[in-house]
Amino acid sequence: MKTGTAAGFASLVVMILSAGLAWAQPGFHGGGPGAGPGMGGGPGMGGGPGAGPGMPGMEEGPGDGPGVILRFLERLDLTDDQRDAVEEIMEETRERIEAISEESGLTEPGRDFLVLFSSPDLTAGDLADLADRADALRERIREAGIEAVVRIHDVLTDEQLERIREFAESDFHGMRERFEGRWR
């Protein structure tokens, strides 16, 4: 298998899962730019594209919620036990991300940014502190997402993994072209 294709497919799975997990968090519903950490005109918040779990396409396309990874895996004809295991992993991960988000104090990052921004004595240090907290939140969510992807991988059979490899080599670029406009 081509290394670039495999890396691209792995990135797609992480993006799909991250978008789904972000959607599952309280305060991240509603989708679109600015919907979660890493979206931002401000330091990791606000109104433009950024690199975080609250990414564009949250209401349609690849980032439309936790069910998107299950729909993708449907191509693999999961057994009932596998489906139950994946759903359990997704639920555990959603709960973990909710706890991480609550613990960070950034359950509403857009509001937090606006409150700070509207302060009469805003300083660069204040913004840096908020950005650092948002970065730490993104990293912890990223780690939870990566762990979930590995756990889901481990539920699949060798035959299912082979089908994924075949998809990555044959249809991956076609899928990217179909969704390209949604990621801008």
User: Does the pLDDT at position 42 exceed 60?
Assistant: no
Contact indicator for 63, 69 with CB cutoff of 8 Å: no
- Alpha helices, DSSP H only, in the chain? 3-23, 67-73, 80-104, 109-117, 124-155, 158-170, 172-179
pLDDT band at 39 (very low <50, low <70, confident <90, very high): very low
> What integer is the mean pLDDT of 156-176?
78
Contact indicator for 107, 26 with CB cutoff of 8 Å: yes
pLDDT band at 13 (very low <50, low <70, confident <90, very high): low
Which amino acid, residue 80?
Answer: D
User: Does the pLDDT at position 61 exceed 80?
Assistant: no
Task: Give the span between the Cα atoms of 119 and 133, in whole angstroms.
Answer: 18
Task: Give the span between the Cα atoms of 136 and 130, in whole angstroms.
Answer: 10
Task: Give the span between the Cα atoms of 139 and 150, in whole angstroms.
Answer: 17
Mean pLDDT (the chain) is 69
User: Does the pLDDT at position 149 exceed 80?
Assistant: yes
pLDDT band at 169 (very low <50, low <70, confident <90, very high): confident
Task: Give the span between the Cα atoms of 156 and 147, in whole angstroms.
Answer: 15
> What integer is the mean pLDDT of 82-87?
93
User: Does the pLDDT at position 174 exceed 70?
Assistant: no
So what's the pLDDT on residue 124?
96
Task: Tell me how crowded residue 111 is: count the other CB atoms within 10 A of its CB.
Answer: 12
The residue length of the chain stands at 184
Task: Give the span between the Cα atoms of 82 and 112, in whole angstroms.
Answer: 40
So what's the pLDDT on residue 177?
57
